[in-house]
Chain A
Amino acid sequence: MQSLSLSVSRSQFLLSCFCLVVSFFCLVLISIFTKPTQAAEANNPANYPSAWLEPAKTASQLDITSFSQSSILEGKGLPPVEQRLPDDPPVIVPVDSIGNYGGIAHIIADDRGMFIAAEGLFTISPDLKTILPNLAESWSYNDEGDQLTVTLRKGLKWSDGHPLTTEDILFSVNDLQLNTNFMPVTLPNFIGLELHAIDSWSFVINFPDPDPFFINYVAQSPEYFLLPKHYFREYHPDYTDPNLIAERMEELGFSSWSAFMTTSMQKRLFPDLVNHPTLSSFKIESLSPGLYSYQRNPYYFKVDPSGQQLPYIDAIEAQDVRENEVAVAKASTGQLDFAGVRLPTQDIPLLKLGEQGSGIKVNIWNRLHGSDLSIQANMNYGDGQKRELFSDVRFRRALSMAINRDEMNEIIYFGRGTPRQVTVVPGSDYFEPEFATAWAQYDVEAANLLLDEIGLHDVNGDGVRELPDGSPLTLTVEYVDTETPKQVSMELVVSYWNDVGLDARQRLIDRELQYSRAISGELEMTVWHADRTTDILFPINPDFWAPRKLAASLAMWSEWSRWYLTDGNLGEEPPPEIRQLQIWADELATTMDRDRRIELGKLLLAANAENVWTIGTVGLAPQPVVTSDRLKNVVEFGLWGWDIRYTMPYHPASWYFAQ
């Protein structure tokens, strides 16, 4: 009996040993073959607190009854913190730990929009799809989707203590956006809008057509909806004597009240800004040349789970740095507590080098740009042979196939980007893999064949192709080097085009010049970056895929856009296949049927894949985000881009300095 049991246990033992060994090998094999990529992790909402993915709980829901404030606010004659906070403040759960008050953050001025998140009626979830309440406590659409009812949180206050009510929203929309003296051409998203107040806390918006994505727009561009009426009424001719306003404008150095209003809406840095009430976590205190100081907003409306009023950090000093190199030098030597916008991908090794002793942490986020470059050939350019050429799909395909995207990825992005055309990000509902790869393979032979087919031959034997009539062909790409590595990319792209016999040249131009020439259709070719590629902005702004807007970023079809925007009075009537894009885009933004919406989005993207309206290079690229290693609660992986206002979903108000 004993021996039997022994033998059984021995065989069991051997068996279990065998199982262990096998499973160990399996584990090793699995871990070898399934290397998680950074991109996948960054896109995975599971990396963020679950509280971030749903509407923020309020203090009463979490039974938080006592609130505290930063010690620097004591003795300043302010009302007690309970009275400054809204009636039931939203609670922000930090990603790592509950913080402590104090400290001054040093940043560069261009990063202020990232360190101080824009506060709007709604906010954006890190899943890049969902809209969440923020200043508004709730909203609802009617079944047809043409009426939106919004309810504000009660007891919200501007940074001067004045309450935020529907009056402010009515003022911002009715008296500014819908006022033709202020906006001669109404912004597309405001056309036909009617806004009524129900009471001080709730209002109704009626749309001429269903507008299910209006909330996305409000979340992403809060500036258009939230100007403090009690302050700006002094500058609005409907409320104040125009002569008095003219006098004030002269004092402040503005040509008109609307210029003043626009400047303040864009939060540009100018002296009067210190007087403007804000809803953000920080409020500007002083502007001296080259240095902007911010103080915490004592009326900021969010708290942490222990009842501490946010933000944790007391002050910000933002230096005016206009050069990427200077920003990189400062960031890598630990002179900045947070930096991102001026840090080029190519400088990641240098920044990482700084990790070894400068007390910084280099997080590698992922840019949400579908492609870092959108190379555009103006299909409405002039009326000569170039227009014909740029309108020829074979030419655009040839330009695209001549580009060696894999080499660009190696040289500029350490192989960590994704060679891609201009299309939506992979996590999007509208994505199909072939949208990213169409005409994106590197094929010099095919490109040459297409160029030959069009009739661009090297007639005089100088190694450069001439136009079909024998006159010289030069492609001039004029652009601004901002946000993504455009200059180094174009250096490569130009050399790829030279390799297929095209005389291409690139030139950096001034931002204002690029803008004015882009919207007037005078740019031959230009470059921008392809954002608006997530489900937040794509359905309302499918800008790279249908001509419906005049912008610096969209220089390939300005006249067709002008025709669309002016109901056919100006610009040029687009050919039927382009008109079809506009019709699809209109329906995409208004349809309430989800399946139809996805079908339309895919139609637009498929049309671009087929026709290459704009040429992409490498997308989903690594973005360095440098923080001081004392700065806590900054997410390790995030997505970086305009669609989500860079840091909006990651709650910068919860960042704090460890003691």
Chain B
Amino acid sequence: MATPFALDTTIAVVTPENISFEYQLAGPFRRLPAFLIDFVVRWVVILTIVLLIWLIGGLISFSQLGPYMVATTFLVYFIISWFYGTLMETYFNGRTVGKWACGLRAIDVDGRPISGKRALIRNLLRVADLMPLAAISNVAPDVPPVFMIPTGMVGLTTMICTRRMQRLGDLAAGTMVIVDERSWRLPVVKVDDPRVPALASFFPGDHRVSRSMARTLAIYAERRHYLTPARRREVARHLTDPLVEKFEFRRDIDPDLLMYALYYKTFLADPSDQAPDLGPLAGYSPLRRDENKPQGLALGTKVGLQAGTASAQTSRMPIDPLKTNPLKTNPNQHSAKTKRSASSAVGSKQKRAGETE
């Protein structure tokens, strides 16, 4: 989330039909690979056609057709150089080969597909955007002034100055280039940790999260897999510490797991469903008021739900952990992720124990 005018490479477009879209703009650095691909494609096409013309002309009669072949070569070069982009963008919905490869598309500023006229204007003005052209003869006077290297400073300057990152050709044609392949919806994260629905069931049934909280939970659930377990807990704690107090969970509960459980309850749990089958976690309570009840601890699942230490675990568990810990008694039931979380939870508790000493 950011301020409505926050800096980003996106732009909101309202179509004439009053439908609002948000596009991600393609600036010069995103367009550069597409431009280079198109450059290569153009020359491959030109050379292929010219080679074919000269091959056929040579087979028929080189002496008679020679001047025509030279003229045709220049004609092919001219047409493909100047109209490759126009034809491609007109007939392929604003895409050239380079744009297609890079996931870009030219559209008009209203969000509609680009027309042939607009495509023609923006492609004809490309040469102006590539100015100034550096002549090698400026540095080496012996070199003829035919080798011109485009610096593209005009196009770059224009893109910096315009809100839609348009070059001169785009400005004249009323077009812009956008990123075509981007999903803006947060994916639904699959929860395969059996502890999550178990813990989620302990949130009060009438607890409703706000829209911003739901978005925050979605962001967290999507990105948590890229973070280390320690970092997950560090991030989650900002929100889970007050939640622990509010709902009277045990204070040594794993913040990451609690956050994940709230995500599950918000997005995945169906209120009409029956109570989840907790399996080996049945009977366990993460609530503070049940902390001293033997039933809760007897199952030994605190290893999974808490950021607990091995020493604390052995000193507080009355029953042999090998028999009571669900991670040990039925290892096939739990994923590797569960084991990883459990081990990280142990490490966390060790750290906490070290801090409080």
**Do A and B come from the same complex?**
no
A interface, CB within 8 angstroms of B? none
B interface, CB within 8 angstroms of A? none
